[in-house]
Structure 1
């Protein structure tokens, strides 16, 4: 059985200082990563079954037999991708400008923020046909019957999408410009809270508004995703071993000190009705 943890829960279990710092930065930098639960798996992939239909159950008369309808099951396999980078400090910088630990901490922070940005973008728009080393994001995974056209009123769109979700959605993902449209016209419906990493977030009902830069949303700047994040019956991350932060020291004959940040990670959609995409 796989263990499921959010980044905050992983942070509580981490005793290594470098790893703790990287997890903290990921959670502060990405509202998606702060919310997303991760299944910690063994091996390089995760296999699960998806029920494709609800069988019809009938009443029967005394003495009659049941004729059970077949339950259609689809087996899905998610493969881990390798996401990471190396923080590098030249020995000259370490000698002349500052303490090497301070320089390395700054470099690790910058690389980690870039990693968070890449994961967010892949979470939404990852496409294995364009990058075979990544994973498919929500835009590739949402099924056609879970895609709706905007009715012109953003709150009506979101409310309609909520009703299409199997269970309770907990995130609504949109561009910052769409978030401004939502908040400007409906301030009485928007509340503020702080997520697990102390970052202030806005909420619509019980859903956290994950507002991303317009540049990241690209051609989907006017689209909205309503999502149920859940390790049991929704969208969740998968990983093997969590975030790995490895000080490599001086490598070979190169006058540089390296620290490697690496994550064997991916995404799983355990219920097709955990995602609704609103097209504007």
Structure 2
């Protein structure tokens, strides 16, 4: 076995230093994985895993936004439905007034008083129609989500029609609820027994139409609720799959970290020993 006594080249120390640098890099990686909880903190940690995780993260983010879109849609429809409930209550009162006015025992003064209340209720219907808004958009005056211009909810992650839901919301103003043929000066009137009898039929027809509008809105709300549940389930499962790729196995990572610390300490000790090998040359010169 030959001995290499060289001052200019300490091969043992160089080899140990190279190994020590590798261990130090591994320790730094372990520090990052343990402190962040992520096994993949950059593409260098796992190029394929990083690419897959980014795709999954993008899809999860899109799914979560779709959930928010659907929930906003539900809130909008609930706003419209709540206003329609108020109009239904008004129509029920109007129906009662019309039935009262249709009775032959009411004199002209009685009919005039009943008609004043009847018109005031219709003004309130118009007020609800004009003032019911969601995100500054008027919902019930016919200018929003009409049959010719439905509102479209984006309820999934792609740009196809499968990810979209079109919704229409009917106008509920006096002019929309009642046929123009039964209106006098833009109002339903009950100033006579005949007009009151006509009003009964008109109000009951409006109640039927309004009930149908509310049923349609309720059906869309149900669909959106099911959509939210499905999207949340999909997002949760995809998030779990992404976590298995990117999250740190803390027990395994700490075990490796402990091994690397031992290797670092041993490497430093061996480097110190290797650095002393050139001292042997001095003994030859004594």
Query: Which structure is richer in relative contact order (CA contacts within 8 A, separation 6 or more)?
Result: 2
Which structure's residues are more often strand, by fraction? 1
Q: TM-score higher than 0.5 here?
A: no
Which structure's residues are more often helix, by fraction? 2
Tell me which interval the TM-score lies in, with the shorter structure as reference length.
under 0.3
TM-score (normalised: structure 2): 0.21
TM-score (normalised: structure 1): 0.21
Structure showing greater Rg: 2
